């Protein structure tokens, strides 16, 4: 069984697998940082020895044909709990045929290593969604503000697995092609030949419609135990979690449904059978499930796979600021004429923000409510007319934009002057 050690302070995950022909690849999960001595661990990467063994041969197909069809283009996606309750048995019966175990192989012969996660089919063409860290050699990525000395693997240096296989509930195990992977969202798009396979595609829902308290079900392969079901609720929305880069995933869903190593890439399903998130990591002090898991929101997943389907890559916009959230008490302390927003602390050199004349903090730092605050920078109060209220609103709105987009940024300068500034966004890849 895979044993993982997590510590705060920027230490990477250590994996100690059982001896096997395909030992777990060291460092393939992401060491994520949190405060209060809590570590965030990717929920995916158990070794192939953790998976239950089976006799399905590579490339063998069942005789039945896929009977499901793709959802109609433009169909409305609504993710709300039904009034009559939560039928976990019914959800499992409907969804299990679309959930797969994903196995990745790196290298060959005696030097081969492997990892295992989960995934789900999204259409009759045989496209499958999973996490990028399930099918790549992703090393530890941490928040540079918390651990500036920690080296991270640049997205362009990530390598995908040499071989990937997916296994269905009827034990058919077939090879899969990696269409592309998106380290910023930790999403990968796979493709199989669907001929002769029996599966039911799952439909992505609208994660922005998910409310705290919504019942959810997670289906996947924790510790290699295929087609496992766990249930719970969405315990929080709009969380900010680490990706495989220095940029964070905004709008993530938090759940108390049990998420363990091997669940990564599997679906988080709402009462209507819609996938509202892709299970990605757990919040743990022990390396096991502690009752809090996180999922990449379905809307970001949809945006990611749309890009990956086009050319195997996903592009994200970049403005080039670091900021702290403004809240009413801090606004009063700084005499800012807005209760919420983003207080700019740093403007990156040669960034869109610098070109637009946005200003970062000066040399003065104050202590407020026990926290050091760099002051003197501009305050961003809205983007394209949408006011910044939530802590991650700025990051979310920039993520929703595209490189090259021109956005209207309303700022309050240090002297109190309000101004509308046009900013042309760059690409994260070129920044």
pLDDT tens-digit readout, 257-307 = 988 888 899 999 999 999 999 999 886 665 555 568 999 999 999 999 999
Poorest-confidence range of 81-90, 102-111, 302-311, 410-419?
A: 81-90
> Which residue would you say has higher pLDDT here, 275 or 158?
275
With beta carbons less than 8 A apart as the criterion, state whether 372 and 415 touch. Answer: no
Q: Does residue 211 register a pLDDT over 50?
A: yes
Is the pLDDT assigned to residue 117 strictly greater than 90? yes
Catalytic residue among 118, 133, 243, 256: 133
Residues constituting the chain: 431
Q: Which of 48, 49, 137, 186 is catalytic?
A: 186
What pLDDT is recorded for position 287? 56
Structural domains of the chain, with CATH: 4-54+94-311 (2.40.10.120), 317-430 (2.30.42.10)
**Whose CA is closest to 136, among 189, 181, 177, 192?**
181
Q: Look at residue 220 in the predicted model and tell me its pLDDT.
A: 92
More confident residue, 48 or 13: 48
Residues 6+ apart with CB under 8 A from 109: none
Q: How far apart are CA 213 and CA 257, in angstroms?
A: 12
Q: Which helix (H) or strand (E) holds 279?
A: strand 275-284
How far is residue 76's CA from residue 271's CA, in Å, rounded to a whole number? 16
pLDDT over 90 (residue 203): yes
**Who wins on pLDDT, 301 or 54?**
301
Instruction: Examine the residue annotation and report whether 49 is marked as an active-site residue of this protein.
Output: no
> Taking the CB of residue 190, how many other CB atoms lie within 10 A of it?
26
Q: What's the rounded mean pLDDT across residues 124-143?
A: 82
- Per-residue pLDDT at 75: 47
pLDDT digits (tens, 9 = 90+) for 224-261: 788 889 999 999 999 989 898 888 899 999 999 988 88
Q: What is the pTM of this model?
A: 0.77
Query: Token pair of 49, please?
Result: 């020895």
Q: Is the pLDDT of residue 168 over 80?
A: yes
Nearest to 21 by CA among 61, 60, 51: 51
Closest to 200 in 3D by CA, of 278, 145, 267, 290:
267
Average pLDDT, the chain: 80
Q: Is 133 a catalytic residue?
A: yes
- Residue predicted with more confidence, 211 or 56: 211
């Amino acid at each position: 069984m895979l044993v993982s050690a997590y510590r705060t302070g920027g230490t990477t995950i250590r994996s100690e697998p059982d001896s096997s022909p395909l030992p777990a690849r060291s460092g393939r999960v992401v060491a994520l940082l949190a405060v209060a001595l809590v570590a965030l661990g990717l929920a995916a990467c158990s070794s192939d020895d953790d998976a239950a063994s089976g006799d399905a041969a590579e490339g063998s197909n069942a005789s039945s044909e896929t009977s499901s069809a793709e959802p109609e283009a433009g169909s409305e996606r609504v993710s709300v709990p039904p009034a009559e309750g939560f039928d976990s048995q019914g959800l499992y019966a409907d969804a299990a045929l679309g959930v797969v175990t994903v196995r990745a192989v790196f290298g060959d012969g005696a030097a081969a290593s492997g990892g295992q996660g989960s995934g789900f089919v999204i259409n009759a063409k045989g496209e499958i969604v999973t996490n990028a860290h399930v099918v790549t050699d992703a090393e530890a990525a941490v928040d540079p503000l918390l651990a500036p000395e920690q080296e991270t693997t640049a997205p362009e240096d990530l390598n995908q697995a040499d071989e990937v296989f997916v296994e269905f509930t009827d034990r058919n195990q077939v090879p899969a092609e990696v269409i592309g992977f998106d380290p910023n969202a930790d999403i990968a798009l796979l493709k199989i030949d669907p001929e002769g396979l029996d599966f039911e595609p799952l439909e992505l829902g609208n994660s922005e419609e998910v409310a705290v308290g919504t019942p959810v079900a997670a289906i996947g392969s924790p510790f290699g135990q295929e087609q496992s079901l766990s249930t719970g609720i969405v315990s929080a929305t709009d969380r900010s979690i680490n990706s495989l880069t220095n940029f964070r995933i905004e709008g993530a869903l938090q759940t108390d449904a049990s998420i363990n190593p091997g669940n990564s890439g599997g679906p988080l399903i709402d009462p209507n059978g819609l996938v509202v998130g892709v299970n990605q990591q757990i919040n743990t002090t022990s390396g096991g499930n502690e009752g809090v898991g996180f999922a990449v929101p379905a809307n970001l997943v949809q945006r990611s796979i749309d890009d990956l389907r086009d050319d195997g890559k996903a592009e994200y916009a970049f403005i080039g600021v670091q900021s702290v959230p403004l809240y009413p008490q801090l606004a009063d302390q700084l005499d800012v004429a807005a209760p919420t927003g983003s207080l700019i602390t740093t403007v990156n050199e040669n960034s869109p923000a610098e070109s637009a004349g946005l200003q970062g903090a000066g040399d003065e730092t104050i202590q407020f409510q026990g926290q050091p605050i760099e002051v003197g920078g501009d305050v961003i109060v809205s983007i394209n007319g949408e006011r910044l209220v939530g802590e991650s609103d700025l990051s979310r709105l920039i993520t929703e934009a595209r490189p090259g987009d021109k956005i209207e940024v309303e700022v309050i300068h240090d002297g109190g002057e309000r101004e509308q500034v046009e900013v042309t966004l760059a690409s994260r890849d070129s920044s």
